[in-house]
A = this chain, B = another copy of it.
Amino acid sequence: MAKLTHFDEAGQARMVDVSDKAETARTAVAEGHVTMSADTLALVTRGTAEKGDVLGIARIAGITGAKRTSDLIPLCHPLPVTKVAVDLVPDPGMPGVRITATVRTSGRTGVEMEALTAVSAAALTIYDMLKAAQKDMEIGGIRLLSKEGGKSGPWSRT
């Protein structure tokens, strides 16, 4: 059975030692969404076109959230990200907003957690800005799409 690297032989938590890993280029892409009623989504799309830029603010929250990853997740290594991009696309078929975050760094550990945290922060911010209109929105589908770099090589969700 797989071993969890965040615990030592005695089962005690630790920040995994990555000191001897090579610094390589790392990329991770993650996605997620916020589902809402068509009426609520109309507030978003109307706002983007016209005024009240929900998606613009959520994008900033995603980017700044990525920078807070190691503050939020106890055993996560701090690392200086070199790129964060957050895409937010209204999806009338859902209805809701689809979120994709891409994070890069040159470092000793991957940036999966940074990409997932960017998606989460953007989703929470969308919820916050729309909660006066609808309380039963739902955040979901938060998952890693792909990662590159490091000894384990590239990985893509199939």
User: A: which residues have CB within 8 A of B?
Assistant: 1-8, 10-19, 25, 32, 39-40, 42-43, 47, 50-54, 56-57, 59-61, 63-68, 70-87, 104-108, 112-113, 116-117, 120-121, 123-125, 127-144, 147, 155, 157
Please provide the 3 A-B residue pairs with the shortest distance between their CB atoms, ordered closest to farther: A11-B51, A140-B140, A17-B83
Could you give 30 example pairs across A and B, Cβ below 8 Å? A4-B43, A6-B132, A8-B85, A10-B51, A12-B59, A12-B87, A13-B53, A13-B56, A13-B59, A14-B83, A15-B63, A19-B25, A19-B105, A53-B56, A57-B75, A60-B75, A63-B74, A64-B72, A67-B78, A72-B125, A73-B121, A75-B125, A76-B128, A78-B80, A112-B135, A120-B123, A136-B143, A136-B157, A140-B140, A140-B141
Give Cα A43–Cα B106 distance, bound, in whole angstroms: 31
User: Which secondary structure dominates chain A's binding surface?
Assistant: mixed
Give Cα A137–Cα B73 distance, bound, in whole angstroms: 17
Give Cα A147–Cα B135 distance, bound, in whole angstroms: 10
Give Cα A147–Cα B131 distance, bound, in whole angstroms: 12
Contacts of A108 in B (CB 8 A): 82, 106
